[in-house]
């Protein structure tokens, strides 16, 4: 008889791909381009600044605080740290208390690599965070929920510190009638159930055109069975399925599922719960009534509402009526429909016929908008986040600005007026 597979909180392959890989790539990306990012950037003079030379100089913001969450405790801590150090800052890191083993490991790494006055790590729960937020940092980089992000922003305001807020939200997915359903199912089931749904850019819910909804659901079921097992017990024993971080979050997710079912939602796949071992099965839900909490709260777990639609305009209106999400995912081969969805919605980022991968693209700015975040991270965008762009202007011997010095004789006033008139826009 074969022994049961050992179930870990996260499959080793997912840890390698989602924790180590992004940090290593961030480091290599920064090392290869840092000289170019640091180099002062010359800019052309505008019309009234002819005769001057100007440039933009990147300077460190100074002392920065990085507050990281529990879902990807290493990459969401060390990733921003790479950008902070590349920009020349000193940093204090506050990891989540929910992943103490990872925090302890990161603390040992930090101690071994950096002097305490360059980088320091502080473990602890909310009291530690409150003490750190009372300190006069020059910049705060926070990754977490919108509710806590508001508290961080309020604390930063006391010292007029700049902030970057990487938040979350209910990232919608649209699958239209022209989509490649097999590829959509394969990719979305990966993006949704990676880390058991505990990913800030995971698809939160899916709008599927009614004409292909049944086929899409069948394709999703097939993918789940192939990856995690054909039955409930096989999926529960799968070594490839991560667990919910702790019992409190497992109870929260179980409550969302139970509330939806009480209101009439139908389970299309999954639905099994074992709070004692923080297990929630990969679950597809249908026919969810409007009042269900799962439609208004960020899920952040392995529950996926599937919502049928017939009119794209109604889907766009529903997305725009909600707070702006961190991501929007569009599955379609209709270019005009894709253009319409991108043009008429707003989100931190977007993918067409893909999902989640925008986070890993080092040349793209990663961040939210309004409720889903403020500011950007990764690559040069992360370097700029932790830098102050200082404007430097150098005069030349030709000092045209003297034309604007008093005394304002009639001749000088007429000259200034002619310059202003020359800059007027033409009549339409």
Active-site residue list: 166, 200
Please give the C-alpha separations between residue 29 and each of 24, 75, 358, 401, in angstroms, as whole numbers. 9, 15, 16, 43
User: What is the distance between the terminal CA atoms of the chain, rounded to a whole angstrom?
Assistant: 84
DSSP bridge partners of 119: 91
Axis-axis angle for helices 21-38, 75-86 (nearest 10)? 10
Residue 263 to residue 257: CA distance in whole angstroms: 10
Residue 52 to residue 26: CA distance in whole angstroms: 37
197 burial (CB, 10 Å; 0-12 / 13-18 / 19+) is buried
Question: Residue 405: CB partners within 8 Å, gap ≥ 6?
Answer: none
Residue 157 to residue 159: CA distance in whole angstroms: 5
Please give the C-alpha separations between residue 402 and each of 48, 392, 393, 395, 416, in angstroms, as whole numbers. 12, 20, 16, 12, 11
Are the beta carbons of 58 and 38 closer than 8 angstroms?
Answer: yes
């Amino acid at each position: 008889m074969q022994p049961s597979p050992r179930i870990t909180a996260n499959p080793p392959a997912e840890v390698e791909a989602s924790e180590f890989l992004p940090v290593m790539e961030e480091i290599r990306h920064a090392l290869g381009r840092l000289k170019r990012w640091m180099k002062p950037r010359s800019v052309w003079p505008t019309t009234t600044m002819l005769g001057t030379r100007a440039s933009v100089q990147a300077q460190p913001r100074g002392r920065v605080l990085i507050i990281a969450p529990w879902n990807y405790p290493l990459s969401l801590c060390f990733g921003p740290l790479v950008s902070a150090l590349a920009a020349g800052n000193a940093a204090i890191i506050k990891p989540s208390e929910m992943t103490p083993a990872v925090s302890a490991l990161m603390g040992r790494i930090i101690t071994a690599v950096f002097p305490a006055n360059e980088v320091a790590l502080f473990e602890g729960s909310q009291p530690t965070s409150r003490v750190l937020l009372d300190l006069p940092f020059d910049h705060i980089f926070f990754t977490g929920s919108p509710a806590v992000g508001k508290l961080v922003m309020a604390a930063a305001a006391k010292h007029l510190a700049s902030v970057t807020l990487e938040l979350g939200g209910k990232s919608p997915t649209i699958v239209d009638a022209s989509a490649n359903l097999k590829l959509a199912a394969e990719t979305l089931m990966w993006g949704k159930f990676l880390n058991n749904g505990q990913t800030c850019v995971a698809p939160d819910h899916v709008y599927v055109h009614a004409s292909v909804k049944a086929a899409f659901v069948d394709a999703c079921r097939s993918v789940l069975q192939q990856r995690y097992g054909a039955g409930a017990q096989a999926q529960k024993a799968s070594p490839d399925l991560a667990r919910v971080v702790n019992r409190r979050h497992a109870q929260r997710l179980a409550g969302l599922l139970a509330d939806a079912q009480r209101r009439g939602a139908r389970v299309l796949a999954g639905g099994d719960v074992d709070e004692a071992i923080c297990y929630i099965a990969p679950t597809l839900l249908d026919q969810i009534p409007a009042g269900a909490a799962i439609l208004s709260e960020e899920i952040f777990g392995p529950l996926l509402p599937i919502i049928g639609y017939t009119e794209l305009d109604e889907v766009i209106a529903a997305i725009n009526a909600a707070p702006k999400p961190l991501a929007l995912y569009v599955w379609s081969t209709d270019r005009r429909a894709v253009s319409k969805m991108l043009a008429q919605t707003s989100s931190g980022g977007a993918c067409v016929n893909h999902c989640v991968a925008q986070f890993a693209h080092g040349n793209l700015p990663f961040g939210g908008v309004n409720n889903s975040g403020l500011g950007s991270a990764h690559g040069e965008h992360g370097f700029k986040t932790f830098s102050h762009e200082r404007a430097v202007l150098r005069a030349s011997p030709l000092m045209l600005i003297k034309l604007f010095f008093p005394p304002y004789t009639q001749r000088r006033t007429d000259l200034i007026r002619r310059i202003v008139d020359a800059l007027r826009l033409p009549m339409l």
